[in-house]
Amino acid sequence: MASHRRPKQPSRARVTVLTTAAAAAVALSAQAANAAPSEKPSKDEVKAKVDKLYEQAEQATEKYNGAKEKQEKLQKEISTIQDNVARGQEELNKLRDGLGSMAAGQYRSGGIDPSVQLFLSSDPDDYLDKASTLDQLSSQQVDALKKIQDKQRELAQERAEATEKLKDLATTRTELGKKKKEVQGKLAEAQKLLNSLTAKEKAELTAEQARATRASERTVLSGSPGSAGSSASGRAAAAFSAAQSRIGSPYVYGATGPSSFDCSGLTSWAYAQAGVGIPRTSESQSTIGTRIYSMGDLRVGDLVFFFNDLHHVGLYAGNGQVLHAPRTGTVVRYESMGTIGGPFMFGVRV
């Protein structure tokens, strides 16, 4: 007959541990249930974060512009070198053909000229060094050999230069791709934040921007006596007029007009319409012309730079206002220099 044993009772210590764990689980559940849901950021908080992301995107945009400009410059230089190499090779071939004809004529007349070895030598350059000292060669042949030697060395140097520039171009293209991704990432993050706003909040932000733009326009047009800055003249006036004609055009990073612009794209395009070529990026534009540190000395059409790293530039519009392409989501417009988001550093008179 089978024996029936009583099940083993859990020890008092084990009961205590299980009871404690259960109590902790209940407490955590209660805390989670009673915890306040994460608060949605306010419209102003979203705007502040978005403005910061746009500033970072513009910084990356100017680096992108610089890499793109360098890429275009390298491509032109490489193309020029390759054209020079092609022409040089043609000249070298003609020199060789001429020397070959000369050698062949001598061979037919019964003499074997050492220059024939040029075409059989495994090291033509070394042969040329030796052959040019041989007494058997005529002065005409020596001259022809030296020209071939000089042209070979010239072509070798140009090919080496092209190789180095091609390496630099590959590095620049990589940098360009990274900056493009960085800009796109910042813009996508900013758009995600904006999408979190209600339709009413979005409308309020748009209305605030519109009011600020209208206020700046009135300030520019008022031309109140004693206001900072004097009228533009000459090419600055022509550049400013060109920029005014693009008011309302959208900001697009990397764009240089005529239908869309980024900040330095607008200023370089505007001065180009006045017949003046200036660099592409804001940092490079800050190195030209005459610097003006006092706002009171600025004139309409002067370039004005903002932020410590000079990543934003516009055209001075008078009365403490700037005409510029602010950032993604905006258009070319007037704005008070005090609301740019970064300090005014200096102006440049082109």
176: annotated active-site residue: no
Alpha helix stretches (DSSP H) within the chain: 12-34, 43-108, 124-131, 139-195, 199-222, 234-244, 263-273, 282-285
- 313, 282 in Cβ contact below 8 A? yes
Query: CA 345, 347, 350 angle in degrees (round to 5)?
Result: 150
Q: Find the catalytic residue in 155, 183, 263, 317.
A: 263
229 Cβ contact partners less than 8 Å away, ≥ 6 residues apart? 295, 296, 298, 299, 300, 316, 318, 319, 320
4: annotated active-site residue: no
Q: Find the catalytic residue in 63, 280, 312, 327.
A: 312
Q: Find the catalytic residue in 47, 63, 186, 324.
A: 324
Residue type, 111: G
CA atoms of 181 and 187, how far apart (whole Å) = 10
CA atoms of 187 and 329, how far apart (whole Å) = 10
327: annotated active-site residue: no
Q: Looking at the annotation, which residues are catalytic?
A: 263, 312, 324
